[in-house]
Amino acid sequence: MSSATGGRLAMTLTILLVLVLLAAVVLVFSFEWLPVDVTTLLLLIALVVTGLLSVEEAFIGFSNDIILILASIFVLSGALMKGGVLDYLGETIHRIAGGSQSKVLLCVMGVTSFISSFMNNTTTTAVLAPAVLGLCKRSRIAPSKVLIPLAFASMLGGTCTLIGTSTNVAASAYVKAHGLAPFTMFEFLPAGLAICAVGILYMVLVGHRFLPERTEASEPEYSLREYLSEVVVTAGSPLAGQAIRDTQLARMGLQVRAIQRGDRRLYPDPYVQLQEGDLLIVQASREGLLQVKETAGIDIRSDLKLTGAQDLASESVGIAEALLMPQSGLIGRTLRELDFRRRFGLAVLAIYRKGHALAARIGELPLRLGDVLLLQGKPERFRALADNADLWILQETEHRPSQRRKGLWVVGIFLLAVIASSLSWVPLPIAFLGAALAVIGTRLMTMEEAYNLIDWRLLILIAGMTAFGKAMQKTGTADYLASLIVHWTEPLGVTFVLIAFVVLTILLTQPMSNAAAALVVLPVALTTAQQMGLNPRTFAILITLSASLSFITPFEPSCLIVYGPGKYRFRDFLVSGLPLTALVVVLLVVLVPMIWPLR
């Protein structure tokens, strides 16, 4: 225990315990040893067991109206996605921008920023990705030149309104609980517009030069070429007359991906009976192929001419990429656990994850957010995924006219909720809850689908970290950390204090979620403002905006979504995002005190 010197508060065992818990949480978040919701619940248990919080204080965050607002926004965002109202976006931008890369970037980032101002940025990125990929194909622009700007724009747009990100809503609830007025719907707009404008101009004029140009022809074929082989069912083979599901092929590690029978290419339905002379395109490891050589009735073709995934497609069988969505119930589970082929009627050929193509032993691989699955199946199965909240097909999908009409109703309902809450006709939670129920009333989705759209893990995280902020205030940890910051930085000036808080928040968003980072820093920032005699609202808005504006790594969910489709590497985000992050830091430190004066 240290003594207070020079205005610094004393370290106590209680403060030390809180700091140890904070360090443990950051460590677990960083290495993903446990799911974030499990980690958060364990943190709440630790706060109660150690006596830092009472049971009521630990779980009061779950009764906050922020939970209701966020749940409703998830439902509304999912309804907009399902309604297909953005289907023609890529085609429209192509008509406006033509084949000019600069115009395409300007249109894509401008439209994305606007949509993301009112829609969760992760969902915005996922919904727009197929349209942008189609636009790139029509404009003959490498997707890798456009997808990172798409993700960055969704993050920039979230700074314009209260509902642009869950971080904004969580921070508003926190400052309200600590005696400040909650943020209004468009309070961030002046700063947000300036940040968006600078961010878009940077990417259009400079940032795109740091992005790789990976055309379709140079994209990796998911390493499939290494695992595809042709196997012939020989004359007199015991396999002849057997259905694929009854053979020993699967047990040998061979997955039949296509059947060439004469001039016809057949889909390998488990019930298809093999015939003598059938040419099977199989996916197998080297060990599996060695077993084939020792098995009577089948031979490996030596004159292999396969080139990749295109060999598995035909008029009746399609190949497409699908993205794992943020609220997907598939995350953390394996293909075998999910019984994926039976559930979706599609075969997973390979998985693309963070720059690496995985094509062998993928059945036991737990799925992660941002995974891109290479799927094979009949066209009608892919059309069925247009309404699926777990997987999003990375190609432009035609929705039914009746569904699009309902989607337009959803847009109207959403706008009405925004207007009603902005003009204080009804409280914000009631406006969005009413809008969510009205959307369900259009029968665009069922109640079960609405519940599946809600990211319960994020709600648990925000409620739990709100309680941790309470523990920091109650135990004096926020006061202690604030006194250290004031002692170290006050002699350097207020501007340096603001820069320190912005950088600290951005760094914490790397191992933690944006909302969690904001809720950890806010108690310290508000206390620091009070100790320095400055406006706490200035600090609150600075921290809130900083938490959503880190572009230096692909750990942000929006960036994870484009990681696979853009075939990016970690370095691509760093070299293009680091200058933008530096620009944003300067903008925040200059603009926020101007719009929300420090004194």
DSSP 348: E
> Which pLDDT score, from 0 to 100, does residue 63 have?
85
DSSP 510: T
pTM of the model: 0.77
Instruction: Spell out the CATH class of 221-396.
Output: alpha beta
The confidence band for 509, taking pLDDT boundaries of 50, 70 and 90, is confident
> Which pLDDT score, from 0 to 100, does residue 435 have?
92
For residue 318, give the 3-state DSSP assignment.
strand
Structure tokens at 365: 């691989």
Rounded Cα distance between 183 and 85, Å, is 30
Neighbours of 512 (CB within 10 A): 23
Average pLDDT over residues 423-439: 90
Write the secondary structure of 166-183 as one string of H (helix), E (strand) and C (coil): HHHHHHHHHHHHCCCCCC
Rounded Cα distance between 450 and 216, Å, is 36
Closest CA to 121 of 431, 441, 458: 458
> Which pLDDT score, from 0 to 100, does residue 285 have?
61
Answer yes or no: are the C-beta atoms of 518 and 170 closer than 8 Å.
Answer: yes
Structure tokens at 532: 């320095």
> Which pLDDT score, from 0 to 100, does residue 383 have?
74
Residue 2 CB-density burial (10 A; 0-12 exposed, 13-18 middle, 19+ buried) = exposed
How confident is the prediction for the chain on average, in pLDDT? 82
Rounded Cα distance between 307 and 221, Å, is 9
DSSP codes, 486-510: HHHHGGG-HHHHHHHHHHHHHHHTT
Quick one: residue 275, left, alpha or beta (phi over 0 = left, psi -120 to 50 = alpha)? Answer: beta
> Which pLDDT score, from 0 to 100, does residue 537 have?
96
Within a 13 Å sphere around the CA of 583, how many CA atoms are in the beta-carbon half?
Answer: 19
Phi, psi (rounded to 5 degrees) for 208: -65, -20
| 560 or 546: which leads in pLDDT | 546
The confidence band for 6, taking pLDDT boundaries of 50, 70 and 90, is very low
- H or E element at residue 26: helix 13-31
Structure tokens at 2: 């240290």
| 202 or 11: which leads in pLDDT | 202
Indicate whether 586 pLDDT > 90.
yes
Indicate whether 4 pLDDT > 50.
no
> Which pLDDT score, from 0 to 100, does residue 312 have?
55
Q: Domain extents for the chain?
A: 13-54+473-595, 68-218+399-453, 221-396
Structure tokens at 181: 């007025």
For tokens 């603009």, what's the residue?
591
Indicate whether 583 pLDDT > 90.
yes
Average pLDDT over residues 136-148: 88
| 70 or 590: which leads in pLDDT | 590
Indicate whether 163 pLDDT > 70.
yes
pLDDT tens-digit map of 124-135? 887 788 788 888
The confidence band for 217, taking pLDDT boundaries of 50, 70 and 90, is very low
> Which pLDDT score, from 0 to 100, does residue 218 have?
38
- Which span out of 27-31, 154-158, 272-276, 465-469 was modeled with the highest average pLDDT? 154-158
Question: Roughly what angle, to the nearest 10 degrees, separates helices 166-177 and 536-546?
Answer: 160
What percent of the chain has a predicted confidence (pLDDT) above 70? Answer: 85
pLDDT tens-digit map of 393-429? 776 555 555 566 777 788 889 889 989 988 889 998 8
What percent of the chain has a predicted confidence (pLDDT) above 90? Answer: 28
pLDDT tens-digit map of 112-128? 999 899 888 887 887 78
Between 77-91, 292-306, 361-375, 463-477, the lowest mean confidence (pLDDT) is in 292-306
> Which pLDDT score, from 0 to 100, does residue 354 have?
65
Q: Which amino acid is at 197?
A: A
Answer yes or no: are the C-beta atoms of 101 and 208 closer than 8 Å.
Answer: yes
Indicate whether 506 pLDDT > 80.
yes
Structure tokens at 369: 């957010």
The confidence band for 88, taking pLDDT boundaries of 50, 70 and 90, is low
Could you list the beta-strand ranges (E) of 378-526: 391-393
Residue 236 CB-density burial (10 A; 0-12 exposed, 13-18 middle, 19+ buried) = exposed
| 7 or 334: which leads in pLDDT | 334
Answer yes or no: are the C-beta atoms of 344 and 385 closer than 8 Å.
Answer: yes
CA pseudo-torsion sign 233, 239, 245, 251: negative
For residue 378, give the 3-state DSSP assignment.
coil
